[in-house]
Amino acid sequence: MNERGLRFSDLRANVESKEILKGIDLFVEPGRVHALMGPNGSGKSTLAFAAAGHPNYTVTGGTICLDGSNLGDLAPDKRAKAGLFLSFQYPAAIPGVSVANFIRTASQAVHPDDLTPAKFRAAIFEKLDVLDMDAALLGRYVNDGFSGGEKKRLEMLQLAMLAPKYAILDETDSGLDVDALRAVGDSVNDMRKSDAGRDTGFLIITHYPRILQYITADVVHIMLDGRIVKTGGPELAQTIEREGYDRIREEAAAGAL
């Protein structure tokens, strides 16, 4: 029987011939929340893009496996259909494509036999209510003229509708005010309580621990210079909040980690 989980094994990746990831070992189990923290430039977003199959991020070694299946040779859309979701730090605008059509098309691609028009309408209005989003948004073009908070809420709407096996949230808390941050947390927590989302594994990539006030992490990892140098429980995020990354950086340099 294939292993269930999203596993990164000795993953190495380059961007424009520069090595960014230098041997990442990480395992995200179904139904669990892992937080990946680190200062800017440590390689966190590179890990997210490499997992999603972005063409500018070249995997030079190691593997990425989803429930035992190697994602290495799959195009980004095939990885999404396999059950992987990526929330972008800077979501792109798609003028001319309405939010409703965009989410409906994505939902049909991932769950082709599971969503009648009536079910889709009922589900999306339910999620809009949880996220405190105006239904008028469905007629707007994707991220076109959206505020930062609206873009992040829209990604949480996509997450809730697609109910992937594994979700990577790349600095979803970046630039959000308290209300928008709480809405993101409520969306993830609501999804985790639902039948469709209770087994979803999350990898939350963040620089600051703000989002972890609303989404409780089971495991926290610290990344420095393309490597995971420390792993612990939720209290590790609070240590970073109090002390920053300097102490962990010093310990790593001294070989104490």
CATH number at residue 24: 3.40.50.300
Residue 1 lies in a domain: no
Instruction: Establish if 213 belongs to a structural domain.
Output: yes
pLDDT, residue 132, reads: 78
Please give the residue range of the domain that contains residue 88: 6-253
Nearest by Cα to 110 from 84, 87, 92? 84
Q: Model confidence over 128-151: pLDDT tens digits?
A: 887 778 999 999 999 999 988 888
Residue at 195 is within a domain: yes
Structure tokens at 229: 């140098």
Task: Give the tens place of pLDDT for each residue, 46-88.
Answer: 999 999 999 999 999 999 999 999 999 899 999 999 999 999 8
54: in domain: yes
SS3 state of residue 180:
helix
255 Ramachandran zone, left/alpha/beta (phi>0; psi -120 to 50) = left
Q: How far apart are CA 106 and CA 80, in angstroms?
A: 10
| Tens of pLDDT, residues 196-252 | 778 999 999 998 888 999 999 999 999 999 999 999 999 999 999 899 998 899 888
CA dist 54 and 56 (Å) reads 6
Q: Give me the number of domains the chain comprises.
A: 1
Alpha-carbon gap, residue 120 to 100, rounded angstroms: 10
- By residue count, the chain amounts to 257
Q: How far apart are CA 197 and CA 29, in angstroms?
A: 13
pTM of the shown model = 0.92
Q: What is the residue type of 77? A: D
How far is C-alpha 106 from the chain's CA centre? 17
Contact (Cβ atoms closer than 8 angstroms) between residue 120 and residue 82: no
